[in-house]
């Protein structure tokens, strides 16, 4: 009987401790742990049950702050965007629209390298959160300040942001493949295209070495430069 009472008392203490931790939970702490977990083990590890274990609470406690896993994942991406926005502020001149766009591109690349698992899941989504709102406002106000009409402002904003998110998302998704599959894809230019029949694929074969040598960062920089030139050409004179 005494052992049963002790066991029951131990369970009660453990349950009370879990409740206290659940009360101390915040959306910010949950996002912190979710980002740490995905950075360490990849997006497949992010389940509500596993996150509850990481936080030391019952998984149902997480649902008090997030409706479902999708809600949580979007909040993680919004945190990444918010961090990117915060990193832009020191010394940023909002009147220099080219510098603003290049700074956003640079920090977006850094964020996708730092958080590839979440980035790959969400780069094509709309978070609607405070981080995204601030970034949208910054870019729209920056482009509107050039004197572009509203329709051009929106078009070039979308062209810029969709281009950088697309390339960053591809980079992040590639990271999730693991070293073996990345090597397999990377070597395809020389392993497959460099030995195609010359008569049938002369251009692909002739450029195989160059295709293998170009980097994702070079592609990214080229696309950013191209969008900036497009905006320059459209500015009112």
pLDDT in tens, 166-183: 999 999 999 888 889 888
- Say what the pTM is: 0.85
Q: What does the buried/exposed string (b/e) look like for 117-130 if buried means 16 or more CB atoms within 10 Å of the residue's CB?
A: bbbbbbbeeebebe
Q: What pLDDT sits at residue 127?
A: 97
Q: What ranges in the chain are assigned the alpha helix state H? A: 2-24, 27-41, 48-55, 69-88, 97-114, 116-122, 130-144, 150-175, 178-186, 188-191, 202-206, 208-213, 216-234
CATH classification code of 76-234: 1.10.357.10
Q: What pLDDT sits at residue 7?
A: 60
Residue ranges of domains in the chain = 1-66, 76-234
Q: What pLDDT sits at residue 182?
A: 87
**Do the domains 1-66 and 76-234 sit in the same CATH topology, yes or no?**
no
pLDDT in tens, 17-36: 455 454 479 999 999 999 99
Which CATH architecture is the domain 1-66 placed in? Answer: Orthogonal Bundle (1.10)
Q: Please list, in sequence order, all residues whose beta carbon lies within 8 angstroms of the beta carbon of residue 234, skipping any fewer than 6 positions away.
A: 148, 152, 156
pLDDT in tens, the chain (237 residues): 555 655 655 554 444 545 545 447 999 999 999 999 999 999 999 999 999 999 999 999 999 999 999 999 999 999 999 999 999 977 788 789 999 999 999 999 999 999 999 999 999 999 999 999 999 999 999 999 999 999 999 999 999 999 999 999 999 999 888 889 888 988 999 999 999 999 999 999 999 999 999 999 999 999 999 999 999 999 988
- List the Cα angle 223/224/230 in 5-degree steps: 90
């Amino acid at each position: 009987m005494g052992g049963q009472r002790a066991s029951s008392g131990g369970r009660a203490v453990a349950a009370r401790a879990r409740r206290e931790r659940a009360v101390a939970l915040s959306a910010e702490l949950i996002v912190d742990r979710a980002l740490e977990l995905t950075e360490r083990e990849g997006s497949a590890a992010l389940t509500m049950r596993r996150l509850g274990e990481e936080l030391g609470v019952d998984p149902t406690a997480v649902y008090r702050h997030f409706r479902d896993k999708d809600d949580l994942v979007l909040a993680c991406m919004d945190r990444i965007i918010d961090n990117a926005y915060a990193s832009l502020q020191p010394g940023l001149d909002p009147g220099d629209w080219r510098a603003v766009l290049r700074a956003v591109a640079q920090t977006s690349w850094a964020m996708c390298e730092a958080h590839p698992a979440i980035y790959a899941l969400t780069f094509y989504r709309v978070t609607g959160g405070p981080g995204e709102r601030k970034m949208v406002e910054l870019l729209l106000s920056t482009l509107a300040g050039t004197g572009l009409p509203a329709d051009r402002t929106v078009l070039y904003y979308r062209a810029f942001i969709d281009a950088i998110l697309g390339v960053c998302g591809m980079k992040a998704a590639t990271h999730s493949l693991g070293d073996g599959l990345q090597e397999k894809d990377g070597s395809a230019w020389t392993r497959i295209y460099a030995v195609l029949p010359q008569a049938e694929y002369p251009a692909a074969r002739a450029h195989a070495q160059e295709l293998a040598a170009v980097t994702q960062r070079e592609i990214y920089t080229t696309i950013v430069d191209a969008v900036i030139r497009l905006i320059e050409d459209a500015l009112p004179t």
